[in-house]
Chains A and B, each alone.
Chain A
Amino acid sequence: MNQLLVLFIAIPFLAFLVSLFWQNKSEKAIGRIVRFTKVLYMLVSVSFAVWWIWNGLKPVSYHLATLYQTEHFVFAVELYYDEITAVFSIVGALLFFLVATFSKYYMHRDEGYKRFFNTILLFAAGYNFIILSGNFETLFIGWEIKGVCSFLLIAFYRNRYLPVKNAFKAISYYRTSDVALMLAMWMMHHLTHQNITFAELGEAKQMALQTANTGMAIFIVCMIILPAAIKSAQFPFTTWLPRAMEGPTSSSAIFYGSLSVHIGVFLLLRTHPFWEDMLWAKVAIIIIGAITAIVATLIARVQPTVKTQIAYSSAAQIGLMFIEVAVGWHWLVLVHFAGNAFLRTYQLLVSPSVLNYLVHHQYFHYILPTQKPVSKIKSSLYMLGIKEWNLDAMMFAYLWNPFKWIGKQFRFLQSNVFIIVLTVTGLGFLSLGYINQNISSALGGALPIILMSIALAVILFAFSFRQSALKAWIYLLTAHLFIIAAVLFNAAHINSIEIIFYVTGVLVAFFLGYYCLQKIKAIDNDISLNQFHGYVYEQETTGLLFLFAVIGMLGFPVTVAFIGIDVLFTYVQSSQPVLIALMALCLLFIELSAFRILLRIFFGPHKKLSHPVAFRSS
């Protein structure tokens, strides 16, 4: 029976693949695929749970595949099913069923009918990857799939400005959480010297205690709390959640009302054995949860729009769940999760009817307001709530703007001479490092740091670059050369196949992206990053290909670079904080830069005003 776990992922994923082959107007065919999938998904989910209960609620695990293996690294896809999975799986299946049914009618004749169902099917596969994951690597696959799906649904109305702006905001938070999770995996690898499964987390903790590597354990826990807080919109990251409500109401309901936003809670539940004895971790989680619960409630109370009100209330309840997880009341968390997910989905789905309902209510229950004395606290709290406690502005002022500023200081890189110089140097170092990996020792280990710093500088420059998209895209490739060179110099010995994995993946993505950008350039010779071009309006396929190029370039699970990137990490030692920090920033900003190119060229209001183009503020 254990191998049946594969079905959870296979069903929505196969349905996703099949659904790609239809046209937007084939609503009936797409509808049939979705209907078949949602029923099957629910049957599998429920019957497996029944079987599992029948067999005494014992955790089930299944080794699906080993994607790559060397003496020092195993990349395995492991599945795992226990009571946490059971609840998340059943709630997920039920909500998917309901929301898919709702959307079948709701989305009728939308220009993105097909896109919508493609995305939620892929999302269902990603969600199941996460909740059924047996190790960090598997969880990470789902984590990234879910991130991309989220991005696509926020930017669903892709030719308007606000969805695109907010999708970028969300993806920048998401990518931070991805990188944090990568770091957790990296450190876990160095801590245990093996690829441990979640079932073995308790042992890993013991190992940390025995070997007195508490520093490593603390780092891992931090890198777990951070992504959990980001994905569950906890303080201080809460503001992405109301802004994510840009897609159709039904997608907001399933993503940001229920399944997606509770994934941080899942991550904490899943990793609980690792940090359950660490008092500071529990205190940290409780503080984050408590602050979120209070602040989000205060913000929710003054929200004059229905969807933002629900978003903040939901975040507040998730804050309470964080506390419950930390305290160890896991069954309560599961009940709370299910109830909150059902409640918020429903509230969002019926949110448009609030107008009729409350206006009627007003007719019969309106009382002429009388001026009560306004205390200083009250007016301050009201104003803070309206300003969302400045959280949104703060994230940008303190997180992204400094990096943009740094990027601008490298303006000198924009001359064509520098591109060539950089590329040649990068290639030089790369081959040198490949041939002779002992040079680094001669430089006292500074070389990898220097190379990685150059990579970061190039990436940040590309991130703030306003001219040609094509150039920015080339910079990103150049940066990759330096990253690989840095890793090569850092490693005592490296498997060629690993480098080949990485390089081929990146190159394929690079050339695909290059082709797409050239194609757009051929249209009107202006592909500056200074404005939105909205080319997806006329070049839909090119836009899709470029999306693949972007996520491939970053090591998403669409090319072999995905495995390569995980392996590369293992060559950085746990004693190299500077190098790993630089590498993490590289990976974070390389993605943001690539997504920025995607959004500026393909998304946003179409630049040719020969047809109705949305106002920026709409």
Chain B
Amino acid sequence: MSEKHFDELHVLHELKHYLPSQQALKDFIHHNSLHAFQHMKFYDAIFKASKIFGFQVHLQLQEYRDMYTTGRIREDVLQMVIANKKGMDVIDEWKRKLISKSYDTINHPRIGQLRKQWKDIYHLDLDNKVHPLLFRILCGFLDQGIAIESFPVVSKPFIESIKEMEQNSFVSFFKTKAIKRKFLSGHYSIEELLKTIVGKEEYFEQYLFDQQFAHHGWSGLVSAVEDNPQTLLDRKQITLKELLEFELLLELDALHHELGNKWQPLANHVNVLPIDLFADVAKTEFAEVTEIWQDAFEWSYYDSVLKGISMSGEKRTAINNKSLGNHSPGDNVFISLQAIFCIDEREDSIRRHIEAVDKSAETFGAPGFFGVEFYFQQQGSKFYDKLCPAPVTPKYLIKESDAKSIRKDELIYTKHTHGILSGFFLSISFGFWAFVKKIQMLFFPKMSPAISNAYGHMDKQSALSIENKSPGDIENGLQIGYTLDEMMTRAEGFIRGIGLIKNFAPIIYIVAHGSSSANNPHHGAHDCGACSGRPGATNARVMAFILNHKKIRERLAAKGIVIPEGTQFIGAMHDTAADVIDYYDENTLSTDSAQLHLLNKQDFETALNLNAKERSRRFASIDTKQELEHVRKAIHSRSVSLFEPRPELGHGTNTLAIIGRRQISKGLFLDRRAFLNSYDYTTDPDGTILAGVMRPIGLVCGGINLEYYFSRVDNIKMGAGTKLPHNVMGLFGVANSSDGDLRPGLPWQMIEVHDPVRLLVIVEHRPDIVLKAIKSSPEVFEWYNNEWVHIAALHPIEKQFYYFKNGAFSKYETITGAGDIKTIHNMEEFIEGAKEMETNHIVHATEENLPVYLLD
């Protein structure tokens, strides 16, 4: 890199682009951890990110090799991948490289090389001198309510607040008077400070990157708060620019204090040229080897899934042909109940169990905000919650009223325990009560205000302002409720999207999901991703209300969607941790429906028992072979146990997204690894609906998948590490100790079952239609074209798979033998017989993830 002019705005922009973009933890929204590199092809992007920041971006070579030895990476798939990438004639050569050649796997990142010279030259650990105080000040300023004495200056920007404190205090954050004076005078700029500290302009950008990525958690949060102030309820004004200025001042202060006048700008000592952090990375043979291994790992599973889908399709056709004499398929079949779940892969199993318990039940999958986007205000709450995918900005507000239950306080969090005298009296009295509470917490865990309750988000008995009363009904710029027209668009879009436009059951359940967990700062990551990390019960109720609305029914009928008068929609919510389903507005059911509902509820209960059993196979604390009710109780208990760092396993193991009719996935055991989005290609021959269906898939499912991927392969740098030592900082994040950097990403306990493979999206439609749908917007297309997400089309007529590669779909022939896909005859026995991981090392962990099976 030659002489380079320092452009402050440009560098700030670049920094913001590359910093982690995680919001406050209460708004946990999954996203691609390497979103900054998404404009590049997957492999090029990850190797580049790795070289710049030192991330581990794939499994370690030995881990791939071990999985090959255990058979988890298949020999035939490996050969296929090599053949596709390198050609048939070099298979043996590359196999040798993959299996036995030794590579230098040590990765020296570009970041940090310049700034570490302070230590080499002056034996001065600048991080040690600056970080602890800087983090404390930032945490104190941004704190949302842990401190009893909050930051004294409110509602002023960061630098101004600090300035006011400095002017008005006997003490100072600065150690030297000179720098304090400089700070108070305001006569400084980033460029001027860099000139003093670094010296030569061509090093400025590199220095700032080194500095900010030495604490990427804090910088990322500051940047997120700057862009999205509403992520903190108690809003704070802070910008990355202010952070840079303040940190440079603190560095200058430390340099003055430690070295006096005996130092020169850093660049005066450096005899290497500045590094261009973002220069292209040459592809190494090791990178090529890794690519082949990763592809082989992915296709070892994908190929069997595709084979499974074909086989279950053939089986279905055979059965249909046999029974064709009785009635034509699809029409006038008796359907006892219909249930629409979120596409979330955790709902795969409960849907399977419901269909097994009640053979005439039908289930659907739709993104869990159920087509209605709005802000929700819980009764008594001073804030709104966004209940729709994160990028959407709703214009509507739905308010809760007539709530019956009031949330109780929990004495243990009283701030009085931190006073001198109140602390004294509370410790000699309440201290002993705390002992009793501890016994209760350990041996009789139950729901309490300390626990994040999925159902606490909205009162069961409350009323919602769903229908707009008058156009003037506006609060803070948001319209309260939807008008009839607005309801109609959403209702039609929703049911057309999932293809539910005929054959309605008497009761149709719209089942949202949420998750209860205790002692879990990451609880938002377990809730519904399509509802911005919140439980989706309100959305289910709203959509049920709209679809029950008489006038909406009339309008739908006018458009050819006739919902029988007796059919009723009802909202419900599945607690994915506790395995509980609760129902809303049951009193609106007609007498006949109410009776049916009672029966259905029993089916749901049985399905939940089975679901709990299936989940329990991964929990060492539960004996899967117990009575169903016991297992269910134990599962429920986990969700309210403060000592349980894994109330549930979240999205761990997610791998697939199947977009099509239920029948293509119904005959398969997918081990809770597939996002299932209902879509009926027969109702959408030209793919207009499909474009809408595909819009959130990359962002929501791909985002979840990639966050799990990166948190899995490098839990230490891109994940949050083990959650056991986490310390809650200011109610917006976690760090490892009192002086640590914030830890974005997912904790170890959430990802240990996850196989780091990219998402494979399978769409049931003609390849040309699918191509048109994903090309409908450049943001959507980027996910697939740059290979961050795989996509295959299942041609409904040819029954043939087409895989998308280099801009086009081409035929994909599966290589898995029919004999390799086994059939499950007895689900309960099968679950009991499943193997539990020996340790959580990837080679063992991945053996807990079951291959695809056909269902009997």
Q: Show the binding face of A for B, using Cβ within 8 Å.
A: 24-25, 27, 94, 98, 101-103, 105-110, 156-157, 160, 162-163, 166, 242-243, 245-250, 252, 293-294, 297, 300-313, 316-317, 320, 332, 335-336, 338-343, 345-347, 349-364, 366, 369-371, 374-376, 378-387, 608-618
Are A366 and B383 in contact (CB-based, < 8 A)?
yes
Are A350 and B407 in contact (CB-based, < 8 A)?
no
Q: Is residue B170 contacting chain A, with contact meaning CB distance below 8 A?
A: yes
| Chain B residues within an 8 Å CB radius of A24 | 839
Q: Is residue B417 contacting chain A, with contact meaning CB distance below 8 A?
A: yes
Nearest 7 pairs of A and B residues by beta carbon: A339-B431, A304-B143, A248-B724, A343-B431, A617-B741, A346-B434, A339-B427
B:48-85 near A, CB below 8 Å: 54-56, 60
- The residue that B148 contacts in the complex, of A102, A301, A332, with Cβ under 8 A, is A301
Are B724 and A304 in contact (CB-based, < 8 A)?
no
Are B147 and A317 in contact (CB-based, < 8 A)?
no
Are B450 and A362 in contact (CB-based, < 8 A)?
no
In the complex, how many angstroms separate the beta carbon of B249 from the nearest chain A beta carbon?
Answer: 15
Are A293 and B729 in contact (CB-based, < 8 A)?
no
- The residue that A317 contacts in the complex, of B427, B437, B643, with Cβ under 8 A, is B427
B:120-161 near A, CB below 8 Å: 127, 131, 133, 136-137, 139-140, 142-155
In the complex, how many angstroms separate the beta carbon of B82 from the nearest chain A beta carbon?
Answer: 24
Are B147 and A363 in contact (CB-based, < 8 A)?
no
Known: A350-B519, A386-B140, A612-B714. A293 touches B420 (CB 8 A): yes
Are B149 and A358 in contact (CB-based, < 8 A)?
no
Are A611 and B418 in contact (CB-based, < 8 A)?
no
Number of A-B residue pairs having CB atoms within 8 Å of each other in the complex: 338
| Chain A residues within an 8 Å CB radius of B390 | none
Q: Mark B716-740, 1 if CB is under 8 A from A, else 0.
A: 1100011111111111001111111
- The residue that B645 contacts in the complex, of A108, A247, A308, A342, with Cβ under 8 A, is A108
User: In the bound complex, how far is the Cα of B591 from the Cα of A147, in angstroms?
Assistant: 71
Known: A305-B730, A379-B152. A339 touches B432 (CB 8 A): yes
In the complex, how many angstroms separate the beta carbon of A234 from the nearest chain B beta carbon?
Answer: 14
A345 (CB) vs chain B CBs: closest residue: B438
| Chain A residues within an 8 Å CB radius of B518 | 353
Q: Is residue B814 contacting chain A, with contact meaning CB distance below 8 A?
A: no
User: In the bound complex, how far is the Cα of B743 from the Cα of A614, in angstroms?
Assistant: 11
B156 (CB) vs chain A CBs: closest residue: A371
In the complex, how many angstroms separate the beta carbon of B54 from the nearest chain A beta carbon?
Answer: 7
Are A374 and B520 in contact (CB-based, < 8 A)?
no
| Chain A residues within an 8 Å CB radius of B131 | 617
Known: A307-B727, A308-B727, A609-B106. A369 touches B714 (CB 8 A): no
B726 (CB) vs chain A CBs: closest residue: A352
Q: Among B309-317, B374-382, B757-765, B796-804, which stretch is in contact with chain A?
A: B374-382
Are A346 and B840 in contact (CB-based, < 8 A)?
no
| Chain A residues within an 8 Å CB radius of B423 | 297, 313, 316-317
User: In the bound complex, how far is the Cα of B201 from the Cα of A497, in angstroms?
Assistant: 69
B:358-393 near A, CB below 8 Å: 378, 380-383
Are A371 and B724 in contact (CB-based, < 8 A)?
no
| Chain A residues within an 8 Å CB radius of B645 | 105-106, 108
Are A349 and B413 in contact (CB-based, < 8 A)?
no
Known: A25-B838, A105-B644. A615 touches B724 (CB 8 A): no
User: In the bound complex, how far is the Cα of B166 from the Cα of A374, in angstroms?
Assistant: 12
In the complex, how many angstroms separate the beta carbon of A354 from the nearest chain B beta carbon?
Answer: 5
Q: Can you spell out 24 A-B residue pairs with CB atoms less than 8 angstroms apart?
A: A103-B643, A163-B736, A242-B738, A243-B738, A245-B727, A297-B419, A304-B136, A304-B142, A313-B418, A316-B423, A320-B424, A338-B431, A342-B434, A347-B412, A349-B441, A353-B642, A358-B413, A362-B145, A370-B154, A371-B155, A383-B169, A383-B171, A616-B214, A618-B717
| Chain A residues within an 8 Å CB radius of B150 | 369
| Chain A residues within an 8 Å CB radius of B428 | 332, 335-336, 339
- The residue that B165 contacts in the complex, of A249, A362, A379, A610, with Cβ under 8 A, is A379
| Chain A residues within an 8 Å CB radius of B555 | none
Q: Is residue B489 contacting chain A, with contact meaning CB distance below 8 A?
A: no
- The residue that B731 contacts in the complex, of A166, A355, A386, with Cβ under 8 A, is A355
User: In the bound complex, how far is the Cα of B520 from the Cα of A304, in angstroms?
Assistant: 18
Q: Is residue B435 contacting chain A, with contact meaning CB distance below 8 A?
A: yes
| Chain A residues within an 8 Å CB radius of B418 | 297, 300-301, 309-310, 312-313
User: In the bound complex, how far is the Cα of B737 from the Cα of A160, in angstroms?
Assistant: 11
Are A358 and B144 in contact (CB-based, < 8 A)?
yes
Are A308 and B738 in contact (CB-based, < 8 A)?
yes
Q: Is residue B173 contacting chain A, with contact meaning CB distance below 8 A?
A: yes
B:521-541 near A, CB below 8 Å: 521, 523
B137 (CB) vs chain A CBs: closest residue: A386
A343 (CB) vs chain B CBs: closest residue: B431
Q: Known contacts A310-B418, A349-B519, A355-B521; can you find 16 more A-B pairs with CB under 8 A?
A: A24-B839, A25-B839, A160-B736, A242-B738, A250-B724, A304-B142, A339-B427, A343-B431, A349-B642, A352-B728, A357-B413, A609-B108, A610-B60, A611-B60, A613-B717, A617-B131
Q: Is residue B624 contacting chain A, with contact meaning CB distance below 8 A?
A: no
- The residue that A306 contacts in the complex, of B146, B233, B646, with Cβ under 8 A, is B146
In the complex, how many angstroms separate the beta carbon of B621 from the nearest chain A beta carbon?
Answer: 6
Known: A108-B620, A245-B737, A297-B419. A366 touches B382 (CB 8 A): yes
Please tell me the number of chain B residues within 8 Å of chain A, measured between CB atoms: 123
B716 (CB) vs chain A CBs: closest residue: A612
In the complex, how many angstroms separate the beta carbon of A356 from the nearest chain B beta carbon?
Answer: 4
Are A352 and B140 in contact (CB-based, < 8 A)?
no
| Chain A residues within an 8 Å CB radius of B383 | 362-363, 366
Q: Is residue B26 contacting chain A, with contact meaning CB distance below 8 A?
A: yes
Are B164 and A374 in contact (CB-based, < 8 A)?
yes
Are B430 and A27 in contact (CB-based, < 8 A)?
no
Are B737 and A343 in contact (CB-based, < 8 A)?
no
Q: Is residue B318 contacting chain A, with contact meaning CB distance below 8 A?
A: no
User: In the bound complex, how far is the Cα of B382 from the Cα of A106, in angstroms?
Assistant: 35
- The residue that A107 contacts in the complex, of B55, B429, B724, with Cβ under 8 A, is B724
Are A615 and B106 in contact (CB-based, < 8 A)?
no
| Chain A residues within an 8 Å CB radius of B380 | 364
| Chain B residues within an 8 Å CB radius of A301 | 147-149, 418
Are B735 and A102 in contact (CB-based, < 8 A)?
no
Are B144 and A106 in contact (CB-based, < 8 A)?
no
Are B737 and A346 in contact (CB-based, < 8 A)?
no
In the complex, how many angstroms separate the beta carbon of B546 from the nearest chain A beta carbon?
Answer: 26
Are A352 and B723 in contact (CB-based, < 8 A)?
yes
User: In the bound complex, how far is the Cα of B167 from the Cα of A380, in angstroms?
Assistant: 10
User: In the bound complex, how far is the Cα of B722 from the Cα of A338, in angstroms?
Assistant: 31
User: In the bound complex, how far is the Cα of B839 from the Cα of A587, in angstroms?
Assistant: 43
In the complex, how many angstroms separate the beta carbon of B230 from the nearest chain A beta carbon?
Answer: 13
- The residue that B725 contacts in the complex, of A246, A347, A613, A615, with Cβ under 8 A, is A246
B410 (CB) vs chain A CBs: closest residue: A357
Are B146 and A27 in contact (CB-based, < 8 A)?
no
| Chain B residues within an 8 Å CB radius of A387 | 133, 136, 171, 173
User: In the bound complex, how far is the Cα of B145 from the Cα of A355, in angstroms?
Assistant: 10
| Chain B residues within an 8 Å CB radius of A345 | 434, 438
Are B417 and A346 in contact (CB-based, < 8 A)?
no
User: In the bound complex, how far is the Cα of B233 from the Cα of A362, in angstroms?
Assistant: 8
Are A613 and B716 in contact (CB-based, < 8 A)?
yes
In the complex, how many angstroms separate the beta carbon of A558 from the nearest chain B beta carbon?
Answer: 28
| Chain B residues within an 8 Å CB radius of A105 | 621, 641, 643-645
Q: Is residue B715 contacting chain A, with contact meaning CB distance below 8 A?
A: yes
Are B520 and A303 in contact (CB-based, < 8 A)?
no
User: In the bound complex, how far is the Cα of B739 from the Cα of A311, in angstroms?
Assistant: 14
| Chain B residues within an 8 Å CB radius of A346 | 412, 434-435, 437-438
A335 (CB) vs chain B CBs: closest residue: B428
In the complex, how many angstroms separate the beta carbon of A113 from the nearest chain B beta carbon?
Answer: 10
Are B173 and A358 in contact (CB-based, < 8 A)?
no
| Chain A residues within an 8 Å CB radius of B168 | 374-376, 379
| Chain B residues within an 8 Å CB radius of A356 | 450-452, 520-521, 523
| Chain A residues within an 8 Å CB radius of B144 | 358-359, 362
| Chain A residues within an 8 Å CB radius of B740 | 162, 617-618
| Chain A residues within an 8 Å CB radius of B646 | 108
Are A352 and B147 in contact (CB-based, < 8 A)?
no
